[in-house]
Structure 1
Amino acid sequence: MIRDASEEGNDGVILEDYNIKDLDEDTIKKYRNRFSSREPDHPWNDLSNEEFVEMLGGIKEDRRRKIKGVTVAGMLMFGKGIYIRDLFANINLDFREEINVDSNQRWSDRFTIDGTWENNLYNFYFTVINKLTSNVKVPFKLENLERKDDTLVHQAIREAFVNQIIHADFNIQGTLKIIKTKDSLEFTNPGNLKIDLESIFKGRNSKSRNPRIQKMFSLIGLGEGAGSGFPKILAAWNEQNWRTPELKEEINLSQVSLKLWMISMLPEECLEALKSIFDKDFNSFNKDEVLILATAYLEGSVNNARIQLMMDKHSYDITGILHYLVEKGTLVVDGYGKGKVYSLNYDYNLAVKRINEMSLTEDETKIIEYIKKYGSINNQQSRDAFKFGKDKNVTLFNGLIKKYRVDNKKQMY
């Protein structure tokens, strides 16, 4: 918390006793070639490697302490692998492609720390980015009658990759991990979010954990900065009508993951699956309800926050839709308050049959209507609202549980 509270970020710390000789000369050369191609007249092009890296923030002098050395940013971006592995022993870099795999083969391609390359961030990024963007199923565009292969999707993937790096916490144990499947890209980095999800999706103030590394990428044309990167990703995905990217913070694991789905908002096979689960009742769902049910099917579960990112509705209205779907028996709910998670009810037809076979009494209907309005009910609340006795309440509650209309926490099905 103290590290993350610093406006200076985490990557400006001077690594005493490490100097320009501990950085990989070939990596610096590759970076400088990209930089000079982009900025051919820049005065930094005439500097020595040490002066150049210092200008980037990769080398720093502390006059008060009378020390000068490579910073965390400089080592991670340009360092020799042996020193990075020594200084950041808890961090791993891992790319896996999981396409056409089976139980005997966990991945179809992998790039990780194995001693065959200088495992700094620059080399990791430029090796993996080509793997990520190859075979991306995006139609090319014509610009000035010439084919343009660098689409918004390609730019968004680069943005997601850079964001993963600049927001990672390299001081804790974890893996900078990327998994590519036939219909998704998932970026995971160690560390928790520094701002809330809503601000990230709206592109408000970005608080990079590694601002010097961010600057190094931006100087060669990578990374939007100023909080505009995530809206750029959303715009690219909306253009393709793909599922809204899923950003998830797992506080217990101290990691953040971003999943970029490269499938339609409502894939045909998903709709067919929902039709088979809900039979003729599927035709009674409106578009918002179908979107929620499809999301629960594709992602395993949904919550209010996830749906807010997918439709232009207030949290209160989404809660109403979710409660309605639970009441109809299409979703089942687990948890309380903001921790509520909704999953698809694969036994819907059985539940409907049971419900239809068990009509409600007038008093049971009063209990159900109370739960609809207030979310739950207990014995005392029922006594106050309906003047039912204690024993009658117990009988009513048990009857509703047997009729599959509420669970034992008084949550409606």
Structure 2
Amino acid sequence: MNFFDFTTITSNGTFSTPAENENIEYKEASWKLPKTFWETVSSFANTSGGIIILGISEDKSNHTFSITGVDTTEDLITQIFNDNNNPSCLSRPIIQNNDVKISKFQNKNIIQILIHPEPFNARPVTALGKAYIRTGDGDRIATQEQLKYFTVESQGEIDTHLLPSTYTLDDLNKESIRNYRQQIIEKGIINPSNQMDDKEFLYSIGVFRKDRLSNSNQYHLTDGGLLFFGNYISITDRFPRFQLDYQKYNSDNSINWIDRVSAGDMNYPNLNVYTFYRLVLSKLEASIPDPFIQGKDLSRTSYHQDLISAAKEALVNSLMHSYYDGAVGVKIVDRPSYFEFTNPGTMRVSKESFLRGQYSSIRNTEIASLFRRVGISETAASGGPRILNAALQNHLNDPEISIDYNINTTRIRIWKISSQTSTDINLSDIEKFILKFGKANPTFTVKDIVISPNNHFGKQTAVRNALNSLIKKGLISSQKRGRKFVYKLRNKNEYLTQVKHLKHLEDNILK
């Protein structure tokens, strides 16, 4: 997030600026900070960061803005830093000198304050004793579930916790252990003639660990070991809301799945993380088309293998980074045009860092270690670049990453289709009209479409259905403003554009 350049946000001589959203907040402030200022500071710090702009008021009824200005800029800045360093106001100081800027617009002073997201293990930042999160265009007091999530996240590695001695080898699935041992043998890591029994084997790979904080020196099963190898009933004794779900659909708009792998149902009564991975990976690979795509040098492209690699990385990523104590489970959706991977737990690194492979912070290090032992997760921070490269090399739609701080989930969508042809796929006449309308109107509502003189395709219900279909196809996006939704054509993500630019510099200049 950067400061706004107010000299560029004019339209036909009138004031024009982005609406409030999850990263932008306007506040009217003439001579003192508004009461809600620190609530917004807390909410931005506890989510993805943002910018607060003082001296602008918004008419909520029609979402228009007016410049009110700040009369006493130096006094307000002094108040910001005094309160920033006051523990009774903010739990710890997070605003630095270079995070505050005075801008002049229409002969009035405006103050911009950048709020950077706090590291995952330093949250929550509280304001006046309460923690806030940012959802949509508003600040919300953190729920008990969200506060619990902050507490668990502060511990860093969360699946190395030792379970009580009542959890034993009997709580683990013998077939899963046998399949895993076979993979270890195939990798040449242990000799096929090795005579270790299952317990000794699990001790050797860290599924059971010695309790070094007591004098007993007993070995205890870890959370990660239970999740990876456990029987479903035993897993849910520790993680009551544990759920792994794969759903395959025969079209992008279908609501009824044609294939499903779901933990605990009659077909998969003993599903754990390891077995789910093995089952689902084969299904993802089978659903990737293998078209003949010719490269510029007239050779066959690596589309099929690239997409398999991307899907594998996203699947492993969702399982390694899941917050299994969360309110929702892992969900993998397989549609003709895309894969979608949703896991409980917000991304611990920025989207840019993930896609460029700059930094990795694994939530479940025990599960990651077990995957690495059999070559499933090979290199830290390699998943994002492989997902990005699959899209770049095959001209596919941009991978999409979205984080929901309200329920603490991360969603990654990987497209199977080309950005050059996606607008021609299964579009109805009304969908084509909406896309054409969107090119001429940067933002629009259902009513705008309905009353358009060129709309000969349907009224409100038909328009809403078409809009929902276009959202699922990734061609438009929506945002709630007040009581209504505003739509716009889906642009390339800002973070992805930046990543592509940096990658171009590295590949063509920095070498």
Structure 2 residue aligned with 1:219: 373
Q: Given residue 239 of structure 2, which amino acid in structure 1 is its aligned partner?
A: F
1:20 is aligned, of 152, 163, 169, to 169
Q: 1:108 aligns with which of 258, 266, 286?
A: 258
Task: Show the 5 A alignment for 1:34-113.
Answer: 34-39=183-188, 41=190, 45-65=194-214, 66=216, 67-100=218-251, 106-112=256-262, 113=264
Is the 1:101–1:108 Cα contact (8 Å) retained in structure 2? no
Alignment match, 2:127: none
1:10 counterpart residue number: 158
Could you tell me which runs of 5 or more consecutive residues in structure 2 were left unpaired when the two chains were aligned. 1-149, 294-300, 443-469, 479-486, 502-511
- Which of 107, 112, 119 is equivalent to 2:271? 119
Output one character per residue of 1:83-107: Cα deviation in whole Å (capped at 9) or x when no partner.
Answer: 112221112111111214887x621
Instruction: Tell me, in whole angstroms, the C-alpha distance in 2 between the residues paired with 1:157 and 1:220.
Output: 18
| Residue of structure 1 equivalent to 2:287 | 135
User: What displacement does 1:280 show?
Assistant: 9.6
For 2:333, the equivalent position in structure 1 comes to 179
Distance 1:296 1:86, change over 3 A: closer
In the alignment, which residue of structure 2 is the partner of 1:401? none
What is the aligned counterpart of 1:297 among 451, 461, 475? 475
Of 490, 495, 507, the match for 1:309 = 495
User: Alpha-carbon deviation of 1:299?
Assistant: 4.3
1:63 is displaced (CA, Å) by 3.1
Q: 2:303·2:394 contact (CA, 8 Å) conserved in 1?
A: no
Shift of 1:51: 1.9
Change (3 A) 1:298 1:134: farther
| Matching residue of 2:424 | 269
What CA distance in whole angstroms lies between the structure 1 residues aligned with 2:236 and 2:378?
Answer: 29
Separation (CA, whole Å) in 1 of partners of 2:187 and 2:260: 31
For 1:40-61, what per-residue CA distance to the aligned partner results, in whole angstroms no more than 9, with x for missing partners?
5569954321122122221111
CA distance in 1, matches of 2:499, 2:386: 21
Name the structure 2 match of 1:326.
none
Determine which structure has the larger helix proportion and give its number.
1
TM-score between the two structures when normalised by the length of structure 1: 0.64
- Cα shift readout 1:315-351 (whole Å, capped 9, x = no counterpart): 9xxxxxxxxxxxxxxxxxxxxxxxxxxxxxxxxxxxx
Change (3 A) 1:299 1:132: farther
d(CA) in 1 for partners of 2:412 and 2:289?
19
How does the TM-score come out when normalised to structure 2?
A: 0.53
How far apart, in 2, do the equivalents of 1:313 and 1:159 lie? 19
Q: Tell me by how many angstroms 1:225 deviates.
A: 3.4
- Shift in Å at residue 131 of structure 1? 1.3
Aligned-partner Cα distance in 2 for 1:87–1:99: 36
Distance 1:100 1:155 in 2: 23
Spell out the pairing of 1:143-162 with structure 2 (5 A cutoff): 151-162=305-316
- Distance in 2 separating the partners of 1:199 and 1:148: 25
Aligned residues: 301
Q: Partner residue of 1:387?
A: none
Name the % identity. Answer: 27
Q: CA, structure 1 residues 153+46, in 2 after alignment: closer, same or farther (shift >3 Å)?
A: farther
Letter in 1 for 2:236: R
In 1: Cα distance, 2:272 partner to 2:302 partner: 31
Q: CA deviation at 1:125?
A: 1.0
- What is the CA deviation profile of residues 1-32 of structure 1, one whole-angstrom value per residue up to 9, with x for unaligned ones? 3332334x111111111122221111100011
2:282 partner amino acid: N
Question: Could you tell me how far apart the structure 2 residues matched to 1:314 and 1:135 are?
Answer: 28
Letter of the 1:85 counterpart? T
- Other structure's SS at 1:86 match: helix
Residue of structure 1 aligned with 2:406, choices 252, 256, 259: 252
Question: Which letter does structure 2 place at the counterpart of 1:135?
Answer: S
Contact 1:94 1:178 in 2 (8 A): yes
Give the 3 Å change call, closer, same or farther, for CA 41–19 of structure 1 in structure 2.
closer
Q: 1:120 to 1:264 in 2, by over 3 A?
A: same
- Corresponding residue for residue 508 of structure 2: none
Cα separation, partners in 2 of 1:6 and 1:44, compared to 1, 3 Å = farther
What secondary structure, in the 3-state scheme, does the structure 1 residue paired with 2:311 have? helix
Q: Give 5+ residue unaligned stretches, structure 1.
A: 142-146, 283-292, 316-413
C-alpha contact (below 8 Å) 2:333/2:339 kept by paired residues:
yes
Which has more radius of gyration?
1
AA aligned opposite 2:174: E
CA shift, 1:223, in A, is: 1.8
Q: Structure 1 165/277 Cα, relative in aligned 2: closer, same or farther at 3 Å?
A: same
User: 1:55, 1:305 → 2: CA distance?
Assistant: 50
> Does the residue aligned with 1:309 lie in a helix, a strand or coil?
helix
| Secondary structure of 1:253's aligned partner | coil
Counterpart of 1:47, as a letter, is M
The SS at the match of 1:179 is: strand
One-letter code aligned to 2:493: I
